[in-house]
Amino acid sequence: MDQVKKGLEGVVALDTQISFIDGVQGILRYRGIEIEKLADLSYDAVSYLLIYGKIPDAGELKPFSMELIKERDVHPHLLDMLKFCDFEHEFLDALRTAISVCAHFDEDLNDISEQANVRKAIRLIARFPTLVAAFYRMANGLEVISPDPSLSHGANFLYMLRGALPTALEAQAMEKDFILSAEHELNPSTFALRITASTLSDMHSAVISGLCTLKGSLHGGAREGVMDMLDDIGSADNIAAYVQEHLEHKQRIMGFGHRVYKTYDPRARIYRDIAMQVATEKGKSHWFDLAREIESVMYHEMVENKHKPIYPNVDFYSGVLYKDLDIPSYMATSIFAIGRISGWIAHFMEQYADNRVIRPRAHFV
Ligand SMILES: CC(=O)SCCNC(=O)CCNC(=O)[C@H](O)C(C)(C)COP(=O)(O)OP(=O)(O)OC[C@H]1O[C@@H](n2cnc3c(N)ncnc32)[C@H](O)[C@@H]1OP(=O)(O)O
Ligand SMILES: O=C([O-])CC(=O)C(=O)O
């Protein structure tokens, strides 16, 4: 039997047409298009691209967006049931429960035909933001706000969260956040989802596998970790001690390092720009400045210790952006999932289109 690669490092498990990463040069493409070019599109257009393989023209985008808007509402009974969720912790747990309950309301649940899968996909993409915003309102004793059909995916999310319209820049930042979070080849949650799909289980079940896997602090949960770390560090004077102590005890600095990127994560650079713009608009650059300083200290610590540099990943400046959008850290992973859902759907469809059950071997010792 072949030698075991711990953590499957470098193992190529399947062919995909959905995204491409060059981890040495720091290149990420969705369906052949550089992430830098996609960040200015709408989330609806990028979701269409991921699922159907092409950037939609106006005649394709409009009906797709209309379908998404039509499906934003969630059944009031569902919200009633969700009141029993524990909102003290990461909302990911509530989202996982909500998707499980949504499955019972979905008339197509066990229909695994392509047409039914498209209908379920639209409903899932459309309802993730509604659910997460509703949890926030319920957790804080506020009235749940209905979606506004005139707003984009990102603007509508912030509106449902706050009960007030975001600025144009905030709305743009939220759209970009969803786009940058949408897809990343065979990351752990997508792999988990594809394994579930490969058994010909249904879409809701596969998405729940993705959610459960995204939650971990080495994956999507690191975004919450970054936000909490910024709070723990508090001010620039504390950075060096924090970083040195963590490295000395072999503890991870959240939002740094990546299995595939050996250079700067291209998404982190885009997040850095948008986080800076939002901080500037709000006239409060504290978190952004602190993050820049953490990045610099990390770099110098690595150089001094003759270690390979460890760069910020997608979770670092997204965490900073959320702080400047006044989003609490316990929402971070569930907001990541709002973006990631369209990538998950694309992988679910790709797995179904040319399926073989995913079943590797283990080496008995
Ligand atoms: C959406 C996402 O999932 S992006 C990733 C989000 N996760 C995080 O930000 C958590 C912090 N980062 C990490 O734990 C890791 O970098 C991971 C999980 C992302 C990747 O893990 P792996 O590919 O297994 O990297 P591995 O653990 O082999 O690390 C390689 C070396 O870099 C060090 N290293 C990697 N990341 C970090 C970090 N964040 N802080 C400190 N040291 C780190 C390791 O200690 C190891 O050092 P060594 O060679 O001296 O032993
Ligand atoms: O690809 C990975 O391993 C993790 C990651 O960056 C993502 O899921 O966006």
What's 217-269 look like in SS3?
A: CCCCCHHHHHHHHHHHHCCHHHHHHHHHHHHHCCCCCCCECCCCCCCCCHHHH
Which of 153, 204, 258, 347 is an active site residue? 258
Catalytic residue list contains 315: yes
**Closest residue CA from atom 11 of ligand 1:** 254
The bound ligand whose nearest atom lies closest to the alpha carbon of 267 is 2
- Check if the beta carbon of residue 187 is closer than 8 Å to that of residue 219: yes
Which mutation among 226, 258, 269 tests ligand 2's pocket best, with the greatest number of atoms within 8 A of CB?
A: 258
73: left (phi over 0), alpha (psi -120 to 50) or beta: beta
Q: What would the two tokens of residue 7 be?
A: 């953590």
Q: Which long-range contacts (CB under 8 A, 24 or more apart) does 257-262 make?
A: 257/310, 257/311, 257/313, 258/23, 258/311, 258/313, 259/7, 259/9, 260/21, 260/23, 260/185, 261/21, 261/23, 261/26, 261/311, 261/313, 262/23, 262/24, 262/308
Distance 173 CA to ligand 1 centre (A): 27
Q: How confident is the model over 173-187, as pLDDT tens digits?
A: 999 999 999 999 999
- Check if the beta carbon of residue 227 is closer than 8 Å to that of residue 284: no
The bound ligand whose nearest atom lies closest to the alpha carbon of 318 is 1
In the predicted model, what is the mean pLDDT of residues 192-205?
Answer: 97
Which of 44, 93, 106, 315 is an active site residue? 315
Distance 146 CA to ligand 2 centre (A): 32
pLDDT at 86: 85
Catalytic residue list contains 228: no
**In this predicted structure, which of 53-67, 97-111, 189-203 has the lowest mean pLDDT?**
97-111
Fold matches, 19-166+188-215+339-353 and 220-325? no
User: What CATH number should be reported for the domain whose range is 19-166+188-215+339-353?
Assistant: 1.10.580.10
> How far apart are alpha carbons 127 and 207 in whole angstroms?
13
**Closest residue CA from atom 21 of ligand 1:** 259
Question: What contacts 270, CB < 8 A, 6 or more positions away?
Answer: 35, 36, 39, 176, 180
| Whether residue 92 has pLDDT greater than 90 | yes
Mean predicted lDDT score pLDDT of the chain: 96
| Whether residue 25 has pLDDT greater than 90 | yes
Give the confidence band of 238 by pLDDT, cuts at 50, 70, 90: very high
pLDDT at 174: 98
Q: How many residues does the chain have?
A: 365
Distance 156 CA to ligand 1 centre (A): 35
- What's the pTM? 0.97
**In this predicted structure, which of 31-45, 96-110, 224-238 has the lowest mean pLDDT?**
96-110
pLDDT at 337: 98
Name beta bridge partners: 312.
256
In the predicted model, what is the mean pLDDT of residues 258-262?
Answer: 97
31: left (phi over 0), alpha (psi -120 to 50) or beta: left
**In this predicted structure, which of 34-43, 98-107, 127-136 has the lowest mean pLDDT?**
98-107
- Check if the beta carbon of residue 207 is closer than 8 Å to that of residue 29: no
pLDDT at 102: 92
pLDDT at 110: 87
pLDDT at 118: 96
Question: What contacts 302, CB < 8 A, 6 or more positions away?
Answer: 308, 309, 310
Ligand 2 lining (C-beta closer than 6 Å): 184, 187, 259-260, 313-314
Q: What are the sequence ranges of the domains in the chain?
A: 19-166+188-215+339-353, 220-325
pLDDT at 83: 87
- Check if the beta carbon of residue 207 is closer than 8 Å to that of residue 341: yes
| Whether residue 1 has pLDDT greater than 80 | no
Question: What contacts 122, CB < 8 A, 6 or more positions away?
Answer: 67, 68, 71
pLDDT at 140: 94
**In this predicted structure, which of 138-152, 274-288, 298-312, 348-362 has the lowest mean pLDDT?**
298-312
Nearest Cα neighbor of 192 from 50, 337, 316 is: 337
What fold does the segment set 220-325 form as a domain? Cytochrome p450-Terp; domain 2 (1.10.230)
Which of the two residues, 81 and 37, has the higher pLDDT score?
Answer: 37
Give the confidence band of 305 by pLDDT, cuts at 50, 70, 90: confident
The bound ligand whose nearest atom lies closest to the alpha carbon of 256 is 1
Ligand 1 lining (C-beta closer than 6 Å): 7, 187, 218-220, 222, 247, 252-259, 307, 310, 313-315
Question: Dihedral of CA 256/268/173/282: which sign?
Answer: positive
Burial class of 92 by CB neighbour count within 10 A (0 to 12, 13 to 18, 19+): buried
- Check if the beta carbon of residue 112 is closer than 8 Å to that of residue 353: no
> How far apart are alpha carbons 322 and 255 in whole angstroms?
14
